Amino acid sequence: KKVIKMNEDKIFTENPESELWRELLQYSYKANVERYFKDHSFAISDKVTDSIIGSFLQAYEYYKASTNTNLQISPLLLYYGTTNLLFGMSSLFAGEISVIHNHGMKPNASTIKDYIAETSVTFENPQHGGIHIYAKALGYNDDLTQYGNWSLMEFLASIAEISADYKKCYSQNCSNILMLDIFNTPNGKIEKIYFDSKDYSDILDVASNVEGIDKSYLRFQNGKDRDGTEYLILRHKMAGKDISKVSFSGQPYLQAGHIKNGKLITIPTILNMYIALFVMGSLCRYHPEIWSPFVLNDMTGEKLL
């Protein structure tokens, strides 16, 4: 049995995904959309209401369809399902139909050498590109078009749920996620980051790119369990802000950002997931000569990731 949060309320459920869809699909009913508009002093429009209802219903159908397909097309279905969900959300929040001209992203498969995750991504059209509209609706206002090329690997590196698999697949790279073990002691709460000795310098480099880490924590200390397992000890400063995040599975973690054009950029988890789905969906839609052999004959383990 798992716990999910909706509007700060805890809901105990055997099937959190079904429960989340039950909550989301409340906005597939006209009365609920119009009630939301009234509560937020938005003008009621049948056109806007129908757009939102259709977006939520189509999102659900895309997600449902994706469960009955394999990796040949499932990323494409999930991307468009998520696009519909975010489009409905942004229109609901604004009380009007979001004006979107394109994806706001452009992939480049020519950068692939050994891994699919080497696909590069550039951002464009900050005014009417979908990714930018959805990012602003979620409270993220950085202009991603200012930071040059990215790679799919950078977005995968920042998703806590696949952090362990990421490290196994791309062994030459360190994930941007630092998993935390939390302990309560007589002197207060402490957090630990376990690591292998060979990864020590990489862990410190990742930690240095966590926004606000110096203001939140005292200087790290090293520790070792009885079995020899090493870890870093993180103690909060007296007035230090809690900058840790919690994965969908309930695991606390720290997320490092990426240095782009001399600036530290930290993208929220849901956008990392969305951009990754866009890249994979684009590859299976427009580059079947790359995607299909990868799905059928991958030797790297990347397909499992």
Res 3: pLDDT? 45
Res 8: pLDDT? 56
* Contact (Cβ atoms closer than 8 angstroms) between residue 193 and residue 206: no
Res 12: pLDDT? 76
Res 186: pLDDT? 78
Backbone angles phi, psi at 249, to 5 degrees: -90, 0
Mean of pLDDT values over 153-181? 90
Report residue 217 as tokens.
Answer: 């924590």
Distance in angstroms (rounded) separating the CA atoms of residues 176 and 254 = 8
* Least confident among 11-20, 89-98, 206-215: 11-20
* Contact (Cβ atoms closer than 8 angstroms) between residue 73 and residue 44: no
Between 298 and 196, whose confidence is greater? Answer: 298
pLDDT single digits (tens) 22-60: 999 999 999 999 999 999 999 999 999 999 999 999 999
State the amino acid at position 277 in one-letter form: L
* Contact (Cβ atoms closer than 8 angstroms) between residue 235 and residue 126: no
pLDDT single digits (tens) 178-202: 999 988 877 777 899 998 888 888 8
Res 9: pLDDT? 64
Distance in angstroms (rounded) separating the CA atoms of residues 113 and 34 = 51
* Contact (Cβ atoms closer than 8 angstroms) between residue 180 and residue 163: no
Q: Is the pLDDT of residue 124 over 50?
A: yes
Between 48 and 238, whose confidence is greater? Answer: 48
CA of 236: how far to CAs of 24, 111, 149, 184, 284, in Å? Answer: 37, 42, 35, 12, 45
Res 7: pLDDT? 52
CA-derived radius of gyration, the chain: 21
**How confident is residue 1, by pLDDT bands cut at 50, 70 and 90?**
very low
Mean of pLDDT values over 240-254? 90
pLDDT single digits (tens) 71-119: 999 999 999 999 999 999 999 999 999 999 999 999 999 999 999 999 9
Res 96: pLDDT? 96
Mean of pLDDT values over 208-235? 91
Res 295: pLDDT? 96
**How confident is residue 237, by pLDDT bands cut at 50, 70 and 90?**
confident
